[in-house]
Amino acid sequence: MLDLLQNLGRRGLGVFERLGRASLLLVQILSGLHTLLPRPRLVIQQVFSVGVLSLVIIVVSGTFVGMVLGLQGYNTLVDFGAEESLGVVVALSLVRELGPVVTALLFAGRAGSALTAEIGLMKATEQLSALEMMAVDPVRRVLAPRFIAGFISMPLLAAIFSAVGVLGGYFVGVGLLGVDEGAYWSQMQDKVDLYDDVYNGVIKSLAFGWVATWIAVFEGHDAVPTSEGVSRATTRTVVYTSLAVLGLDFVLTALMFGD
């Protein structure tokens, strides 16, 4: 019994310890951001690897999600004779929730895990140490550009997700199921508010981008420098980012869309 408590206690302290380390790392990253201004190339390179290379999965997923929304939405609405509102259902679901959240989850799986693995591997092969000994701060040179790239890319990816999703819903609803084209767009335009919905969705994806990239970069930097350690760190990135995004989504939704 006592052992169990001891274990729990140690685990608990461990959590705080990691959180503390992660926060310190974040402060280090933020304080070094200004050094990136004269070297945009570093950030651009990372936006490519984090954003551009995620485009395929985001576009494909967005299209499918939009199409499914069109299908399911139609099936439910048609019972109420309200299938003209399909556009609203698809657009609001995407812009408010699915766009930011699903994009963040996909990001964690594709880009987040890649970041963690890359940084962890650099740690294991002593590249980070070598940078330090060459008087180059690895946090500023390696971590900061990746952090900024993730933060910038996330809202763009989420917007692309929502946009192709709406088009996917259009394809299924109007193209295949016969919903009136005019009704699809006009009802949507009527009910989707720029500030309440689109703007809030962007805020969400910025918050998710912050959290997802922070976790990915921290886990890589904190990984045990062995192959097993890197693999565990990558798993942790995906799991923790997913949990954090979903939890944060609840909090943000309550704040933004609650009364």
Q: How many residues bind other proteins (CB under 8 A)?
A: 48
- Residue 130 touching other proteins (CB under 8 A): yes
Closest to other proteins by CB, 151 vs 240, is 151
Cα 72 → chain centroid: 25
Is 203 near other proteins (CB under 8 A)?
Answer: no
Among 56, 175, 193, 257, interactor with other proteins by CB under 8 A? 193
Helices within the chain (DSSP H only):
2-31, 40-50, 55-77, 86-92, 99-107, 113-124, 127-133, 138, 144-170, 181-191, 200-222, 227-257
Binding mask 43-82 for other proteins (x = CB under 8 A): -xx-xx--xx--x------------------------xxx
CB-based contacts of 28, cutoff 8 Å, min separation 6: 139
Which of 122/216 has CB closer to other proteins? 122
Cβ distance to other proteins smaller for residue 137 or 249: 137
**125 forms part of the interface with other proteins (CB under 8 A):** yes
Among the residue ranges 128-136, 214-222, 225-233, 238-246, the one whose residues contact other proteins (CB under 8 A): 128-136
Which one of 10-18, 107-115, 147-155, 235-243 is the stretch in contact with other proteins (CB under 8 A)? 147-155
> How would you write 185-238 as a 3-class SS string?
HHHHHHHCCHHHHHHHHHHHHHHHHHHHHHHHHHHHHHCCCCHHHHHHHHHHHH
> Pick from 253, 213, 255: which is nearest to 98 by CA?
253
Residues between 75 and 104 with contacts to other proteins, criterion CB under 8 A: 80-82, 91, 95
What CA–CA distance (Å, rounded) separates 110 from 61?
Answer: 13
Does position 239 interact with other proteins (CB under 8 A)? The reply is no
Indicate whether 129 belongs to the interface with other proteins (CB under 8 A). yes
